[in-house]
Structure 1
Amino acid sequence: MNSLNAIAMSGLNVALKRADASGNNIANAQTPGYRRETVVPVEDAGGGVSATVAALPEGDGLDQLAADMVEQMSSVYLFKANLQVVKTHDQMLGALLDLRA
């Protein structure tokens, strides 16, 4: 089993990939022939998550710009939640070391 810190760090990486993909979609929204990207998260067996970036089919029927803006906000919240886990882990480890020192 991975450590709590490693699991949270994998979540941070996925949040960054989601922000990158949606930002890329927003930047290239008016580019002819551009295919939007999405991030596909996959649960790791030992804990945590990994992700791959995949191209969406053209004309997926969604309001693309609005969906990408929501994805930007969602990835920020995902990043903040995983960062809080890392901070809490560090605080707990520091408290444990203070007890043992």
Structure 2
Amino acid sequence: MNPVLPISLSGLQAATTRLDASAHNIANAQTPDFRREVVQQQTVGTGQGQEQPGVVVTIGKSSEIGADLATDLVEQMSASATYRANLRSIRTQDELMGSLLDIRA
């Protein structure tokens, strides 16, 4: 099976998690004793006990108290670009599969 779809879908989910965490951090920046959510990503492959390759995310808390709005804004831009790139990969794979089906028909 072609691994593009599961890799891209896990990338979309990871980007969504990153966007959610940065939005949460920005919304709670003025909360006393607030600790930012930090998202860690790790790639996985078929040889690491996973059926499908892709990205696994975990959410933790920052060790420091306080907001970091600049980091969260950059994280939102980065996650948005990652989301668009993964979406484009899915669209390209879909177009290629359509072309292959047209050739075989």
- TM-score under structure 2 normalisation? 0.87
Residue equivalent to 1:48 = 54
Q: Find the partner of 1:90 among 87, 94, 97.
A: 94
Residue 13 (str. 1) matches residue 13 (str. 2): yes
Contact 2:33 2:65 in 1 (8 A): no
Residue equivalent to 1:4 = 4
Q: Return 5+ residue gaps in structure 1 as ranges.
A: none
Deviation of residue 92 (structure 1)? 0.2
Q: Which amino acid aligns with 1:5?
A: L
- Whichever structure has more strand as a proportion of its residues is 2
When residues 30 and 76 of structure 1 are mapped into structure 2, their CA distance, relative to the original with a 3 A threshold, is: same
Q: Which amino acid aligns with 2:87?
A: L
Q: Distance in 1 between matches of 2:64 and 2:45?
A: 33
How many aligned positions are there?
99
Residue 70 (str. 1) matches residue 79 (str. 2): no
Q: Distance in 1 between matches of 2:45 and 2:99?
A: 30
**Matched-pair identity in %:** 46
**1:56-80 CA distance string (max 9 Å, x none):** 11247xx701110010000000001
Deviation of residue 2 (structure 1)? 6.3
**Deviating runs (4+, > 3 A) in structure 1?**
none
Q: Distance in 2 between matches of 1:74 and 1:85?
A: 17
Q: Distance in 1 between matches of 2:17 and 2:95?
A: 27
Q: Return 5+ residue gaps in structure 2 as ranges.
A: 47-52
Please tell me the root mean square deviation across aligned C-alpha atoms, in Å: 1.6
